[in-house]
Amino acid sequence: MPTNVVQDRLGDLFVREGLITETQLTEALREARKENTRLGYALVKLGFVTEGELTALLARQYRVPAVDLDAIQVSPKVLRLVPDEVAIKHLVLPLRRVGRMLTVAMVNPSDLGAIDDLKFISRLDVEPVIVGEFTLRKHLEKYYASAEDRMSEILEDLIDEQDVEFVEEQEEDVSVAALQAEVNNAPVVKFINGLLTDAVYKGASDIHIEPYEREIRVRYRIDGALREVMKPPFKMKAALTSRIKILSDLNIAERRVPQDGRIKLRMRGKVVDFRVSTLPVIFGEKIVLRILDKGNLTFDLAKFGFEPKAEKDFFHAIAQPYGMVLVTGPTGSGKTTTLYSALSKINTEDVNIMTAEDPVEYNLHGINQVLVRNEIGMTFAAALKAFLRQDPNIIMVGEIRDIETGGIAVKAALTGHLVLSTLHTNDCPSTITRLIDMGLEPFNVASALNLLTAQRLVRRICSGCKTEATYEEEYLTAARVPLDWASETTFYRGAGCDKCDGSGYKGRQGLYEVMAMSPRLRKAIMEEKGTDELRDIALSEGMLTLRMDGLKKVERGITTLDEVVKETSAQG
């Protein structure tokens, strides 16, 4: 029903109830249409009724409770459930959340479009309560400041300007230096410094800066999940992009092709690297900064959470003088960190360690790291060939992508070198099938391999809000979780608190499937047995699949069943 019709009918109700006269109604309707506000707001503004009288009448009319906003303090966690532009557009204010129910103060509780929007955005059920528009607008201004005010608040407590110093990789030419001096005068400098520092202190792995038609969105990836943190003023778009490009030594005039660079930032005594990638999108350039913070990196394999047999097998394999150790899993599953940790454990002054990486993420002291650059012919295969003439003991190849790289790696493993590498496969047995499908000889694969590790990362339950959880039998059956095991296990989840920003998770934990080579397995590989047969042999020798390892982490209350089911398959 059109708004003006609703207003007219409410006006008649006010007259019928004796709140106002017909003359006052006509004047208030004229004021409401002129100022493009609701009738109630106009009545209060003109002094014809008090807001308390108006709210009490509307509460009876709509059959919803009225609320006194002055008596309520809304928590920042609840405010984040409804973005400011949605709250101002629909004149709503989230008040509290209890379980799946979000209580929202509204001027018009019959606005089903607004309620549907709130349900979609918050992913919660919505319970409306009524409030006067005059009071609501005042509280919206209090809780949802303007974009510039919010930015100031975000930056206020983040950093002291003296704590941040950009470390130049090399001298810049005069033209870029002049341009940088220009950008240094802009207020965007404080924003960029604050943004980078805030992301590091919150433990983010990536920062996404995304331009849209009428807004810029900034998101952090924390514990593998993206979450929106702010929307900078739209007018900052060009300056923000240029500032980041200058800091990472990119061409600010080139906006049509992707570019890659690095920023080095010294903050409070430690140096953090940011890998910068720009990508032209239809409304500007999307920028992603990967945060490479060595301070947050754990290279101690003993803290990774391997089960006892898996840990013993892994340590034994990387201590061998030759052979191949492969780590497999999808992008972002922590393969590189596992390999770096293995290298750190065996990095002594009496061995020559060489790595070929694309890109080199962390600089490790005592290890010769080579950057792979396909455009100039410096491929993984070319780097490997060169390594074999450099008297290496241990070689790490970033990834085995083709038969040429795989062939040289196998040859190196068979001729007295320890080779570490990664593959993008789902589990250990399918990695062997993949190597043979790539064109490598089964007897070479069987002879070269020492050990395979498949891994995934799952989120840890937040210790600040850990609580018991239950699962329906239908869910357990659909996820192919053993019901007898479930009946004897106490499940946990995070309820959501300020410490974990309402997510229920804080930090991540690895799940590991470690398959050590045995005579039976080597024989099965040479006979080109299928993936299922290889898995059965490994299981009979004590291997835990990713799912089995995950369920052990669930038993110990480290992670949730949902995370394990999401990241692992029932047979693997």
Tell me the pLDDT tens digit for each residue of 279-300. Answer: 999 988 999 999 887 666 666 7
| Residue 162 to residues 183, 190, 291, Cα–Cα distance (Å) | 18, 11, 21
The per-residue pLDDT of the chain, averaged, comes to: 84
More confident residue, 260 or 2: 260
> What is the average pLDDT across 174-199?
67
For the ranges 11-20, 282-291, 386-395, the lowest mean pLDDT is seen at 11-20
Please give the pLDDT value at position 61.
Answer: 77
Residue 78, amino acid: V
Residues 6+ apart with CB under 8 A from 529: none
Cα(296)–Cα(286) distance, integer angstroms? 26
pLDDT at site 91: 85
Dihedral class, residue 99 (left if φ above 0, else alpha if ψ from -120 to 50, else beta): left
Choose between 540 and 43: higher pLDDT: 540
Confidence label for 34 from pLDDT (cuts 50, 70 and 90): confident
- For the cut 50, the answer to whether the pLDDT of residue 172 exceeds it is no
Closest-CA residue to 453 (of 304, 553, 277) = 304
pLDDT for 122-138, tens place per residue? 888 888 888 887 788 88
Q: What was the pLDDT predicted at 117?
A: 84
189 has a pLDDT exceeding 60: yes
The answer to whether residue 324 scores a pLDDT higher than 60 is yes
Question: For the chain, what is the radius of gyration of the CA atoms?
Answer: 30
Residues 325 and 46: their CA atoms lie apart, in Å, by 79
Lowest pLDDT segment from 54-63, 226-235, 292-301, 311-320: 292-301
- The residues, ordered by sequence, that sit 6+ positions from 220 with a Cβ below 8 Å of its Cβ are 199, 202, 204, 206, 207, 208, 226, 227, 229
Per-residue pLDDT at 78 exceeds 80: yes
Name the phi and psi angles at 413, rounded to 5: -65, -30
pLDDT band at 154; cut points 50, 70, 90: low
Give the angle 440-443-449 at the CA atoms, nearest 5°: 80
The predicted-structure confidence for 505-552, as pLDDT tens digits, reads as follows 988 889 999 999 999 999 999 999 999 999 999 999 999 999 999 999
Question: What secondary structure does DSSP assign to 11-80, as a single string?
Answer: HHHHHHTTSS-HHHHHHHHHHHHHHT--HHHHHHHHTSS-HHHHHHHHHHHHT--B--GGG----HHHHT
Q: How confident is residue 21, by pLDDT bands cut at 50, 70 and 90? A: confident
User: Can you give the pLDDT at residue 88?
Assistant: 81
Least confident of 87-91, 165-169, 407-411, 494-498: 165-169
Q: Which pLDDT score is estimated for 156? A: 58
| 73 vs 413 pLDDT, higher one | 413
Predicted pLDDT of residue 443: 94
Angle, CA of 454, 460 and 464, to the nearest 5°: 170
User: How many CB atoms neighbour CB 528 within 10 A?
Assistant: 13
Name the β-bridge partners of 94. Answer: 104
Residue 171 pLDDT > 80, yes or no? no
Mean pLDDT of 341-362: 88
Query: Would you state the pLDDT for residue 169?
Result: 53
What's the rounded mean pLDDT across residues 256-276?
86
Predicted local distance difference test score (pLDDT) of residue 163: 62
| Amino acid 60: pLDDT | 79
